[in-house]
Structures are given as C-alpha cells and as structure tokens.
Amino acid sequence: MAAAQQTDFQKNFRLIVEKIFNHWQDLRLAVEHGMGGRNGQQVAIEIMDYTYQYCVSNENITQGELQEVVEELMDQEFNTLCDDDSIPEICRNLLRYKLLAQQNQYPQIEAELSKLPAGKEWLRPDVKITYTPVEGDSSSDEDMDEDDDEDDEMGQEDEEDVPSSSGRMTRSQTRKQQAQEFVEPEDGWTTVRRK
C-alpha cells in the first residue's frame, strides 16, 4: 500500500472502529455500572484505541485472535464476560471492514454502518458518562467471612468439579457452568443475553 493510501486507510478505519465501539452496548453498560471504576470511560477509550492499533499493526489476524484480545481486555479492565456473542460479532465486523477499507470500498462500509441505530458518540474525552459506583464489592470483610463458611461446608466437593488438572477452567467451561447456575440478577443489574 502506498503511503498516502495507508494514511487514508488508517484514518478511515479509525472512524469505523469508533463507530462500532460507540454502538457496543456491553461496553457502555460496563462503564455506566462502574465496572471500570471512576475512570471507566477512559479505560473504554483505551480499549478502543488498543483494538484499533492491534488491527492495523497485525496484517493477518484471525477473528479468534482478535476475539481473545477483546475478551481478555473486557475481563481484565471491567471484570466482565460478554455472553451475548457481541464480541465475536464486533471482531467479525472489524476484520471485514478492515478488508473492505484496504480495498477502498468505503461507500459499501458507509451504507452498512448507516444502518446502525442513531446514537450519540460517548467514547470521547469531552463526553461525560454518569456511572453508578459498584456498591459493596465482593472483597469486603463481611462477604469474605460468608465465603469462608460456605467453603468449609462444601469441603472437597469443589475440587471434583474442576475440569482440568491445573485447577483452571477454560472460558467455555466457565460459560457452561454459569449457564447451569444462572440466577436472576439482583435489582440494579442488567443481564444481556445471547440473540
């Protein structure tokens, strides 16, 4: 790609990434519910920036690789697992639009992105998002005491449920277990389900 074409591609692909991330409901909910703390909006902007850089810096990334990166970022930065298939959809679209942008097919991209619901751009430093601080996080002393009591009562049963010898569960095993143990969310929580 010529230098001018590369600059145009990067500028236009940046706009595409911003449009997609500004419409990602799971990310916005994580910020609004204080999952990223007081600076959650800035963390979301950094995730968007990192994802953009990852896409333009890596020529032949797969959807699975990009999906792992975004899932890891959401888990680390927001302590959030997205079980609604939004991450695979976002990654698929980012890589598709990256390819179309490299082929200068901007009219097609614009036509598709214009079908997204009208929404306000919120992933900008000059836009303020009000968030609800997480009340009573799970690491409080009271919660720890309750957890310790439960562990004592359960004894060795937990160890038998661990599927791997290292004691770690894969993401898909975690999702299956969460689906089996689903409990209606408490007031103030929002559950985003698969399509």
Residue with tokens 């010898």: 165
Q: Considering the entire predicted model, what is its pTM?
A: 0.68
Work out the angle at residue 13's Cα, subtended by the Cα atoms of residues 59 and 75, and round it to the nearest 5 degrees.
Answer: 75
The pLDDT of residue 93? 97
| pLDDT score for 3 | 82
Average pLDDT across each block of 10 residues of the chain; the chain has 195 residues. List them in order.
84 96 95 92 96 96 97 96 95 97 95 90 88 56 41 44 46 54 62 64
Q: What is the pLDDT of residue 175?
A: 54
pLDDT of residue 153: 44
pLDDT at 194 (0 to 100): 63
In 3D space, the residue among 110, 85, 89 whose CA is nearest the CA of residue 100 turns out to be 110
Domain positions in the chain are 25-114
